[in-house]
Amino acid sequence: MKRATIIAAITGILATVATGASADILSEQELRKAVTGKTVYLRAQGIELPISYRSNGTMSGRLRAFVATLAGGTATADSGKWWISNNQLCQKWNRWLDGKSYCYKLSRNGSQVHWRRNDGRSGTARISG
């Protein structure tokens, strides 16, 4: 039960609606440059989920404790692997999202960053670092 609630919370964080049809989709080289050594903050419903992308292909994320508590669990942090494939940022968490792999197309429209996951979910983000 707790696991399903945490997964639902993370999915909710990732489920904002993207806008900006005229945005430029980032190429593999642009994606790598945009995220390597940086932190991507996914935004939804006033909550940001920071994901740090290391140059060695590993990543880590952290939920605020109160968000994890609201989700009925204690998994405030997770880690996993990331890679670039077919102009998409792909990732696989060790525990979050049932450890399934997902790929994201990222695009920019001015300073706005939008993403669309391969299951149709979409949202916005900011990149820092």
**CATH number of the domain bearing residue 13:** 2.40.128
Give me the domain span that covers residue 113: 2-128
> Among 128, 125, 111, 105, which Cα is nearest to 48's?
125
Contact 89, 103 (CB under 8 A): yes
Q: What is the pLDDT of residue 107?
A: 94
- The top-scoring range by mean pLDDT among 3-7, 16-20, 33-37, 60-64 is 33-37
Q: What is the pLDDT of residue 24?
A: 86
Residues 12-59 have pLDDT tens digits of: 554 433 333 456 899 999 999 999 999 999 876 667 789 999 999 999
Q: What is the pLDDT of residue 109?
A: 85
Residues in the chain, how many?
129
Q: Work out how many domains the chain is built from and give that number.
A: 1
pLDDT band at 93 (very low <50, low <70, confident <90, very high): very high
| Burial tier of 59 (Cβ tally within 10 Å: 0-12, 13-18, 19+) | buried
